[in-house]
Chain A
Amino acid sequence: MRGDAIMKKRNKRLILFLVIVITAFLFGCASVPVGDECPIVADAAAKSVSADGPGFPIFELPIPGNEGEKGYLGLSGSGTFRVGQIKARVVIIEVFSFYCPHCQRSAAQINDLYRMIEGRADLKGKIKMIGIGAKNSAYEIDAYKERYHVPFPLFPDEDMEITEKLKVKGTPTFIGVKVDGKGNQKQVYFGEGGFQDNQKFLTEIIRLSGL
């Protein structure tokens, strides 16, 4: 009899525990950061293309006025430049938006990716990063940079001309481009949505670019 009472008590505790776990789970799901208002569809499962993927479109970006950013990209003077002219072996482009919660949530992670690259002697100088703000003005780009302390150069794409050339459908989207600093450029990676693991992403970029 005493054993039955103890069993009943334990069963009650078990049921209570399960109720708590399930409740916590349901609340957790409700707050999971997923899709939104980003101009395009964001998908956490990035889709990559092989090294034989589509050619990279030609477009011009303004040479940054900031000497630090200019030096990082290996550029000089003023005017415009093409991605293929960046002094690097691979350029990672993040197409983002000031207004996109996905991008806002992953800003710190992407900053970490930059620091990871800069902290590795075998990658520093070989992989560079830039951001392109889809439908964002220069003012909004500056506000985003200040808000999230973005350490790599950002460029506005107010009229979506570049975003459309890149065939980007959602933010954030990441594109890997193999470059030679002389103007040649070849797209090796295209991933819609964010990614969970910087190290895995970097390994994939290195593999696809043959770095």
Chain B
Amino acid sequence: MRREQMKTPKKKAGVLCLSVLMVMAGITAAYGQSTGFTENIYPVGKLKPTDSVLKVKVGDVAPDFILPSVEGGTVFLSQYNCRKNVFISFVPAAWTPVCSDQWPGYNISKKLFDKHDATLIGITVDNIPTLYAWTRQMCNPNEKLWFPVLSDFYPHGAVASKYGVLRSDGVSERALFVINKKGIITYIDVHDINQRPFLEALAKALEAANMQ
């Protein structure tokens, strides 16, 4: 009798666990097919192509900066001096069109950067938690972008402002800078904010920087 009483709750527990697992599996499958993140891309409409005045030019020493990284810690530009060519990609904001489909392309192009002994730094004016969520959905589950993503959130847009790519509405331009191992700016493209730059322009700029 006692043994039977002991078995009943055990069976109940087993059924309960199995039920929970089945429900979880079902919900996960349904969630996987949702378009939740896509729907979270905020439609910004057509914007003024550029809205800032550059404060640096090709041939200048790149202004140094230190910013917090999504992966923790900080990154400063001068840490790459004499070691790597640096490609800085400013994008206007997380969860917006174009920005959201720019870095995933760079994420599968590491070979190109390696070829030209270069690294990539991504910068936006968003805060770390926002960047964390946004960049996580750019890669496979349990993976992360291979390059550091930095937050120019506080003081707001200070680095973008230093380079002259902070727009009047507080977001940065869609701007590309290549800095060679000597810390000199070799390429600037303040791109039309509504358009994604083609990869070949970047490849040429990296190649040129690496030859200097």
| In-complex Cβ contact of B35 among A37, A43, A104 (8 A) | A43
B141 is an interface residue with CB less than 8 A from chain A: yes
| In-complex Cβ contact of A44 among B5, B32, B137, B196 (8 A) | B32
Residues of chain B lying within 8 A (CB to CB) of residue A17: 17
Report the interface size for chain A: residues with CB under 8 A from the other chain: 44
Distance to closest chain A CB from B68 (angstroms): 22
Contact, CB under 8 Å: B108 / A147 = yes
A198 is an interface residue with CB less than 8 A from chain B: no
Contact, CB under 8 Å: B200 / A137 = yes
Docked complex Cα distance between A179 and B112 (Å): 39
Distance to closest chain B CB from A132 (angstroms): 16
Docked complex Cα distance between A97 and B9 (Å): 54
Docked complex Cα distance between A69 and B122 (Å): 37
Contact, CB under 8 Å: B20 / A99 = no
Residues of chain A in range 1-27 having any CB-CB distance to chain B below 8 Å? 3, 6-7, 10, 14, 17-18, 21-22, 25
Contact, CB under 8 Å: A31 / B141 = yes
Contact, CB under 8 Å: B9 / A139 = no
B82 is an interface residue with CB less than 8 A from chain A: no
Contact, CB under 8 Å: A139 / B199 = yes
Residues of chain B in range 29-80 having any CB-CB distance to chain A below 8 Å? 31-41
**Subset of 9 A-B contacts with CB under 8 Å:** A18-B17, A28-B141, A36-B101, A36-B104, A37-B100, A43-B35, A98-B105, A140-B105, A143-B109
Interface residues of B (CB under 8 A from A): 2, 5-6, 9-10, 13, 16-17, 20-21, 24, 27-28, 31-41, 97-102, 104-105, 108-109, 111-112, 136-142, 196, 198-200, 203
Given contacts A31-B141, A44-B33, A137-B200, list 14 more A-B pairs with CB under 8 A: A21-B17, A31-B136, A34-B31, A34-B35, A34-B137, A37-B98, A37-B104, A39-B101, A41-B38, A97-B101, A99-B104, A101-B138, A137-B199, A140-B105
